[in-house]
Chains A and B, each alone.
Chain A
Amino acid sequence: MDYPTFPRDLYAELDRLQRQVQQAFELSPSIRGFARGGFPALNVASTPQSAEVYAFAPGLDPAALHVQLERGVLSVSGERASDFGDASVHVNERFVGRFHRVVALSDDLDPEQVHATYRDGVLHISIQRLAAAQPRRIEIS
């Protein structure tokens, strides 16, 4: 590791450190960039019968949310508008603008059996696995 001769501002140093740590732990990051910290935040889980994705995307019109599944790659996109009129802004932390997140799931999912529900600002996408891919118990006679 090389250290700069001149101390720069602290945030720039933290950024650099974060990139170094990323590089040290993620040998080949995704082409779409570092996965964490995007909008909406994603939790992904699986069950023997399905894949479950939770996108934490508050304040959206469900009709304007786009969910797509192609070859086991799920993408969620949409846009969130600003709530500011001509009022003065003191704190501005919430995400505004267009978003697009992509998550690679497994290949054994059935694109015909996708259920998406939007409740309390969480988009829950449940995708059934293909019947052929589900574990079967083999009877012993």
Chain B
Amino acid sequence: MTDHNDEPSREARAEAPALLPPVDVIEDKTGITLYADLPGVSKDRLNVHVEGETLVIEGELGLDMPKDLEATHVEVNLSRYRRVFALSKDLDPERMQAELRHGVLRLRIQKAEHARPRRIEVRAG
């Protein structure tokens, strides 16, 4: 996970065509977990970063291709994944954990300490 603030080509990259990976987002008391399908992306080709309040997930596809390959049927026709989410204020981007296993990214974002729900006791009068 890296912070990118100085990349001149950031806008160019955002406009280049990319695959939109399907995601699941679930929430429990302590945070949010995001799962993203990124088949063909290895750890070193994955880039997860936060720009301000925006979460950016990017990955490059790397396949073993033999020589003289002639495509006959293509459903995945781009070699880059990109998806962007707006983070909400109750999440702490400093405490984010990313795991990549079998092409699935699991991203855990903890809630900020003050944002954890506190149960308010209701007393019978």
Contact = CB atoms under 8 A, between A and B. Distances in A.
Interface of A: 35-37, 40-48, 50, 52, 54, 56-60, 83-85, 87-95, 103, 118-122, 124, 126
Given A58-B38, A87-B33, A121-B38, A103 B73 contact: yes
Given A48-B68, A60-B102, A84 B26 contact: yes
Given A84-B24, A90-B27, A43 B74 contact: yes
A85 B41 CA distance: 26
Interface of B: 22-28, 32-33, 35, 37-42, 62-76, 101-104, 106
Given A45-B71, A91-B24, A56 B104 contact: no
B25 A91 contact: yes
Given A58-B37, A59-B103, A92-B24, 7 more contacts: A35-B73, A36-B75, A45-B72, A47-B67, A52-B69, A88-B27, A94-B23
A121 B37 contact: yes
4 tightest A-B contacts by CB? A121-B103, A58-B103, A121-B39, A93-B22
10 contacts: A35-B73, A54-B76, A59-B104, A60-B102, A83-B106, A89-B25, A90-B32, A91-B24, A121-B38, A121-B103
Nearest to A95: B22
Nearest to A40: B39
A139 to B, nearest CB: 22
B102 A44 contact: no
Contact of B73 (A44, A48, A83, A91): A44
Contact of B24 (A37, A50, A58, A93): A93
A138 to B, nearest CB: 20
B16 to A, nearest CB: 20
Given A41-B75, A47-B67, A89 B24 contact: yes
A56 B39 contact: yes
A58 B102 contact: yes
B37 A124 contact: no
Given A57-B39, A87-B33, A46 B63 contact: no
Contact of A90 (B26, B40, B62, B72): B26
Contacts of A35: 73
A93 B68 contact: no
A42 B75 contact: yes
